[in-house]
Every structure is written in C-alpha cells, then in structure tokens.
C-alpha cells in the first residue's frame, strides 16, 4: 500500500491508474478508523480497481471551541487497517499541504445545511464540502463512499455533486453498530464507562420510533415524541434535537409518505455529542 503525504504524489499515481483505464474509489475519512470506516473501504474494494483512503483531520470543519485538538488520531493503526483491507493508497496530508499558505475559496451548500447539525455547527458543512471537493479533484475518483451515520453530510454531498455536475457517484453505506446498538464513532472514545452505557439510549430510542412505524404510525410528530420520551428516561442524556425531515432537501415534514424520511437525533452524553438516525419510507 502506498502512503502519500502530498497532493502531487497522489496525482502521480492517479494519472498512471487512469492511463490504464482503472476505476478509483475514494473513502474520505478523518482517521482513527473503526469498523464503520472498514465497511466503506470494503465496499470501495468490491466496486473499483483502485481504492484511495484519505486520512485527514480537516480543520475547516471545526468551529471555535470544538474538539479539533482533542480529536483522536492513530495513523499507524489506520495504515494497518487500510493495508489489511486492500486499499491501494492512503493520503495523509498536513493542513498546510491541503490548504497552502493562503486559502480564500470555500464551497457552500444552502438550505440543506440550515437545520439539524448545521444549526449548531454553522461552519461545519462549508468545511466538509470544501475538503471533499478538493479530494474529488485530487483523487479523480469514479465513486466516493460515505456512511449513513452522518446522514446530513451524505445528503449535502449528494446535493453538491448533483448541483455542480461532478463526474462522480456518491455511495451511501449503512450504519455499523456495536453489539448493543451504539453507532460506531471515533468520538465514542470520549465516553467514560458510565457514559458509554448511557449512550445506548440513542439507538434504543430510534428502535421505539421504528416500532411505532412498523405498527402503522405515519404521524411524524407522534413518532418523534415517542423517541424524545425514550431519550428522556436516561439521566445522562441531554437532547440537542429530534427531527424528521425529507431525505432530499432535509426540510421538516409531518407525515411518512412514499419518499425517504430521515429521522435524526443529536444527544449530549456528558460533554460528548452523539448522533444517530434511521431512514424510512
């Protein structure tokens, strides 16, 4: 497996692969890889001749007082995981390599970024869209792989690709969970043992909502109230939001219909902000 630290090195290998007619799958990550990331790499390996994994904690998607400096990092473990899954190249640049001395351009997606996590993290999705755009150009990927756990991110990137006519397919992959239901996340490492037990309330509350849906409930106010009441049974949980939106434009909706509906939650467990969701019709 190739370890590349510069944009020029990535472009050099991509040029060779493209010359040979090979397809490229890109897995953008912020490192500290876990089974969720592994599922994306495996999918990319199945669908492409070459797999590029970016391993970059992107500073532009962190706001003031967020956890940029504390965000977990373990590049040696990341390399081992990527090599074991058959990735061809891992791209591990510095912020200076990605953005240079002067960087004046950003990519902004309107409407879809106004609610959910975007409401409390106003710079986050501009940072995501900007770095993802750069990675698309650097890797010249045919496909890029994103996890459903970050459902708003997935919807925003899909819309950006559609609106700006990128020549790339965005592949969404299912949430990977711990045995007790907690969605895999690099930030789970922040949780104390007591908080880790409490965090299961996120998936448990979504299960309650899904149970109501399976029983025929279509009123999303009733469904989100069920989820909220379940979350409120956990003393360590502080709700940020419980929202039901259409999965296309991420706008609020009242009832389930034939279109995909995203039911998303964000909850503080202690000081750690955890997110989870289900997508239903």
Catalytic residue among 37, 92, 103, 108: 37
Q: Specify the long-range contacts of residues 249-254, CB closer than 8 Å, at least 24 apart.
A: 249/111, 249/112, 249/159, 250/111, 250/112, 250/115, 250/116, 250/152, 250/155, 251/111, 251/115, 252/115, 253/220, 254/219, 254/220, 254/221
How many Å apart are CA 51 and CA 40, to the nearest integer? 10
Beta bridge partners of 130: none
At 224, list the tokens.
Answer: 């989100």
At 14, list the tokens.
Answer: 């991509």
Nearest CA-CA partner of 89 in 211, 3, 172, 169 = 3
DSSP string for 222-252? HHHHHHHHHHTT-TTEEEEEEEEEETTT--B
Q: How many helices (H) and strands (E) does the chain have?
A: 10, 9
How many Å apart are CA 232 and CA 201, to the nearest integer? 9
Q: Assess whether 108 carries a catalytic annotation.
A: no
**Residues for the chain: how many in total?**
281
166, 259, 203, 37: CA torsion to nearest 10? -20
Query: How buried is residue 145: exposed, middle or buried, by Cβ count under 10 Å (0-12/13-18/19+)?
Result: buried
At 120, list the tokens.
Answer: 């409390």
Q: Given its phi and psi angles, is residue 211 left (phi above 0), alpha (psi -120 to 50 degrees) or beta? A: alpha
Catalytic residues: 37
């Amino acid at each position: 497996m190739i370890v590349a630290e510069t944009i020029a090195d990535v472009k050099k290998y991509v040029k060779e692969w493209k010359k040979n007619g090979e397809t490229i799958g890109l897995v953008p990550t912020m490192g500290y890889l876990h089974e969720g990331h592994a599922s994306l790499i495996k999918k990319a390996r199945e669908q492409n001749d070459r797999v590029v994994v970016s391993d970059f904690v992107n500073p532009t998607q962190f706001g003031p007082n967020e956890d940029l400096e504390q965000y977990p990092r373990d590049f040696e473990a990341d390399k081992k995981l990527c090599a074991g899954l058959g990735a061809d190249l891992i791209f591990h640049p510095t912020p200076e390599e990605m953005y240079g001395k002067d960087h004046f351009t950003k990519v902004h997606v309107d409407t879809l970024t106004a609610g959910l996590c975007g409401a409390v993290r106003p710079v986050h999705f501009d940072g995501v869209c900007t770095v993802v755009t750069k990675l698309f150009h650097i890797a010249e990927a045919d496909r890029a792989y994103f996890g459903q756990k970050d459902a708003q991110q997935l919807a925003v990137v899909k819309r950006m690709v559609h609106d700006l006519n990128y020549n790339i397919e965005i592949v969404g992959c299912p949430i990977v969970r711990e045995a007790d239901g907690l969605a895999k996340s690099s930030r789970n490492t922040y949780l104390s043992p007591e908080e880790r037990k409490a965090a299961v309330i996120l998936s448990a509350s979504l299960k309650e909502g899904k149970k109501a849906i399976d029983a025929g409930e279509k009123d999303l106010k009733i469904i989100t109230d069920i989820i909220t009441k379940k979350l409120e049974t956990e003393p360590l949980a502080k709700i940020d939001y419980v929202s039901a939106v259409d999965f296309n434009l991420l706008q609020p909706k009242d009832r389930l219909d034939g279109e995909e509906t995203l039911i998303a939650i964000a909850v503080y467990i202690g000081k750690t902000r955890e997110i989870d969701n289900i997508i239903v019709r």
